[in-house]
Amino acid sequence: MLYARYRRLASNNMGEAGKTVLRRSLTEAGRHLMPCVSGFGECGDLLDVPLFGPLDSAATLVITGAKGVPVVCTVPMEMKNRRLTIYPIHKECHQLLAKAAVLQIEHPDHPIVPVLVCRRAHPRLFWMAKDLGFLVHQTGRQYTRLPKGTTPAHVEVLRTELGLTGLTVVNDKTPLIRTFFEQTLPNRAQATAARWKATAAYVLPYAEQLRVEGPDSTQRADLIRELRQEAEWVLDSAGCKNNNLGWSLPDLEEVDE
């Protein structure tokens, strides 16, 4: 009964609840962020580039660069408000990367900073993000709205009996994603955009395959390994230092016959 109640919340409310928190956070984060669509809404094309599907949000970020010169970045964003812990093999991250890669290829000199917001990300996803040039923020919460017939007491039972401690009802008192958008994003935007500029064209063929259900888990792991191998060469060629490169399976060893 409790799991059925959770499924009802998940199927009817959580997608929009997560987007609501994301957009409210962007609206209140400060004037360094400006919406690409009114109210930071869904973005079907960006910078005059049609995308694989609409982004959950997109913003123009203005920061102070070298010698006080303003730098304007575009920030495509996806909100994945799911229980899933997201790994590099999961389609949720590659749906963002495929769209952001197309944008970068069409605008090769424009700083682009892809941002993925999710409930929980595996450390390997953070390592991949740092190497390739995108940002991941985990909220530790799964947002929901109360459908008709569901009360806050029902949600509290789900938290205690099913261990869904991060289940959070969206209302006027819901904590927003403030520190990330006020501090982390502007502080890391230029370095992240520089890496994404170097890697985007190489990421796109892999992200196009991984953004859908198609490949099975073994194939997905192999694709991530191939992406990491290519990224190693690309990052070295671009002069990028302090790369992690530990976010995929190890290289296959050659066997002597």
For 132-145, write each residue's pLDDT tens digit.
999 999 999 999 88
Residues 82-128: tens digit of each pLDDT: 989 999 999 999 999 999 999 999 999 999 999 999 999 999 999 99
User: So what's the pLDDT on residue 73?
Assistant: 98
- Across the range 171-184, mean pLDDT stands at 93
User: So what's the pLDDT on residue 255?
Assistant: 42
Q: Which of 1-5, 83-87, 194-198 has the lowest mean pLDDT?
A: 1-5
- Across the range 16-26, mean pLDDT stands at 95
Helix (H, G, I), strand (E, B) or coil at 26: helix
Average pLDDT score, the chain: 92
Residues 213-237: tens digit of each pLDDT: 988 999 999 999 999 999 999 999 9
Q: How far is CA 55 from CA 51, 163, 217, 233, in A?
A: 8, 31, 25, 30
Residues 32-85: tens digit of each pLDDT: 999 999 999 999 999 999 998 999 999 999 999 878 899 999 999 999 999 899
Residue-wise burial string across 47-82, b where 16 or more C-beta atoms lie within 10 A, e elsewhere: beeebeebbbbbbebbbeeeeeeeeebbbbbbbbbb
